Structure 1
Amino acid sequence: MRTDPSAALTMLTRLGFASRGLLYLVIGFLILRTGRTEDTSGALSVLAQGGGRILLGLMIAGFLAYGLWRLSDAAFNIERHEHGRKGLAERGGAAASGLVHLFLAWQAVRLFQHTGASSGSGDSGAQEQAQTALSLPGGQLLLIVAGLALLVVGILQFKKAWQADFLKHLEPGVAHQPWARYTGQSGYSARGAVFLISGAFLASAGFKRKAGEAGGMEEALTWLSSPWDTVVALGLLLFGLYCLIEARFRVINDVPVGGLARKARSKLPV
């Protein structure tokens, strides 16, 4: 019996949603239970140490499929975004999300090859990247633009939480449930806060030409004081739960893998 590649990609994409949810559950749990702050890469390392190669292998497959599905959406409008600037912006966001999750897959592959190894040197990845950017021509402007972009993303996350338009992607029977709405709204609000703080850190690093001012999710969570650290941690925990809801109930339009492959073959020289 032959497996439909489109159906297989859809199934693995659901695994990708679940894998992303697991990362955010770990991030929120660590803050609430131990006060330890991690970003998604750090959470992946924690899972690698605790879950071993089988869990990592599943997450690699999920992140790869999720990343390819997002990039396919950006290229072929799989999710049927509307025409115009809003649709283009949504497809651009899908492309960025796809690249981020392919990067997570790559990190998971590295951890898979060195299961049990220490997760890193303890240095801030955001600050190292900022230092690299500042050493390049136009690096200061690049940092400022990146910081402003993160600020915009943070605002859009709050807008998404307020309008609850994420519910349109769920099966109707679940989309109308209050628990789905409130879980998603809390999660996207927490993500919005993290993006805003990270964007402010990055823009500050650019304006001051100081890489030490840069920071990502881990630094943003560390910067928060009580009780806001707990509030955001709960929100990230709920975002993880919402990702699990999406893994089960999101309406995922299949990527026409077979059709795209045939179209690609038809363009090859005979």
Structure 2
Amino acid sequence: MSRSNIPEKLARLGYAARGTVYLIVGGLALVAATGSGGRATDSKGALQDVLEAPFGALLLAIIATGLLCFAAWRLAQGLLDADRLGRERQALIRRAAYGGSAVIYVGLAFTAVSILLGHRTGSGDESARDWTATLLSQPFGPWLVAAVASAIALGGFAIARRGWTDRFDRLALSPAARNWAVRIGRLGFFARAAIFLIVSWFLMAAALHANSSEARGLAGALKSLQQQPYGWALLGATALGLFAFGAFQFITAAYRRLDARSTSDALAKIEAGVQEAVGKDGRRSGQPMTDD
């Protein structure tokens, strides 16, 4: 595949932007765990820290662009099957997860733009409490929150399973380098899985007690680890894992084999799919198909 493939380059920029966010979140939490300052923060806090750095506005603009690119790549993986996963049940579940990830990173990109424009954005914990309160106010609200908590827990188990079983064969590395990359990746995936499960635990508590104030986001999950016995060790291990996940994103950006189609190929596939769907509708309705 030509290195001039624009979608491929945008996907690599997206992985790098995602890695930057996780490096900041993990790095700050790791410093907090050692008692040298720092704090447990989330993705929004990481983006705010970028703005306060030298040339922060430029860096944040690049990261926002990268996050949008990553969201577009996730859509390509989910809708266009850029990774050639197929249509078996497990593949469709994974592709659906990519679609959900795209929505999340679009939101994070717009958060970066809002910070860049000087608008106030609430923390992840505040957002978690707000939407939990909204769900709790609906009919069967606690059940809705419990369902979301269960879905997040399942996502955590899926991430842990991938970290344990995935051989990361798409990385174009030598065997020795791949071994190190796999170890870094697995540590990162396990840390992310732990965060998902902790967030799910707090949401389930919010559902059981019908109390939105018990909901937590990423920052709240990290702080809860710090408050446990030997919290410095728990927070340090998780922070190291998140930092490793960020580093793994940069490895992915540099060495992942991407099957991204060129823009013209992607548009052609979309057009072919639309024509096929229209053709099926026309055949079902018994109407002849004509070219306009």
- For the residues of structure 1 that align with 2:100 and 2:122, how far apart are their CA atoms? 25
Deviation at 1:110, TM superposition (A): 1.1
Deviation at 1:150, TM superposition (A): 1.0
1:46 paired with 2:44, answer no
CA contact (8 A) 1:42 1:119 kept: no
Larger displacement relative to structure 2 (215-224 or 78-87): 78-87
Deviation at 1:95, TM superposition (A): 0.6
Q: Deviations over 1:154-187 (max 9, x none)?
A: 111221221133x122114368622101100111
- For the residues of structure 2 that align with 1:122 and 1:92, how far apart are their CA atoms? 23
- For the residues of structure 2 that align with 1:221 and 1:89, how far apart are their CA atoms? 28
Aligned to 1:102: 106
1:190 paired with 2:191, answer yes
**SS at 2:52's partner residue?**
helix
Q: Which amino acid aligns with 1:17?
A: Y
- For the residues of structure 2 that align with 1:27 and 1:112, how far apart are their CA atoms? 18
Q: Which amino acid aligns with 1:41?
A: K
1:56-71 pair list within 5 angstroms:
56-71=60-75
Larger displacement relative to structure 2 (26-35 or 83-92): 26-35
Pick aligned residue for 2:239 from 233, 237, 242:
233
Q: Deviations over 1:46-105 (max 9, x none)?
A: 112224221122112211111111112211211111432100111011111111111111
Larger displacement relative to structure 2 (21-30 or 123-132): 123-132
1:1-270 pair list within 5 angstroms:
7-33=5-31, 34-50=37-53, 51-114=55-118, 120=122, 124-165=126-167, 167-173=168-174, 177-224=178-225, 225-262=231-268, 264=271
Change (3 A) 1:231 1:256: same
- TM-score when scaled to structure 1? 0.88
Q: Runs in 1 of length 4+ with deviation above 3 angstroms?
A: 117-123, 259-267
- For the residues of structure 1 that align with 2:263 and 2:124, how far apart are their CA atoms? 41
Q: Deviations over 1:192-229 (max 9, x none)?
A: 11010001111221122110111111111000023101
CA contact (8 A) 1:12 1:61 kept: no
CA contact (8 A) 2:203 2:216 kept: yes
CA contact (8 A) 2:202 2:215 kept: yes
Q: Percent identity?
A: 31
**SS at 2:5's partner residue?**
helix
Consecutive unaligned residues of structure 1, counting only runs of 5 or more, are none
Q: Which amino acid aligns with 1:250?
A: R
- For the residues of structure 2 that align with 1:131 and 1:58, how far apart are their CA atoms? 34
**SS at 1:226's partner residue?**
helix
- For the residues of structure 1 that align with 2:109 and 2:127, how far apart are their CA atoms? 17
- For the residues of structure 1 that align with 2:223 and 2:12, how far apart are their CA atoms? 31
**SS at 1:55's partner residue?**
helix
Deviation at 1:248, TM superposition (A): 0.5
- For the residues of structure 1 that align with 2:44 and 2:123, how far apart are their CA atoms? 13
Deviation at 1:242, TM superposition (A): 0.5
- For the residues of structure 1 that align with 2:142 and 2:193, how far apart are their CA atoms? 24
- For the residues of structure 2 that align with 1:210 and 1:37, how far apart are their CA atoms? 23
- For the residues of structure 1 that align with 2:172 and 2:83, how far apart are their CA atoms? 14
CA contact (8 A) 2:6 2:262 kept: no
Aligned residues: 264
CA contact (8 A) 2:173 2:255 kept: no
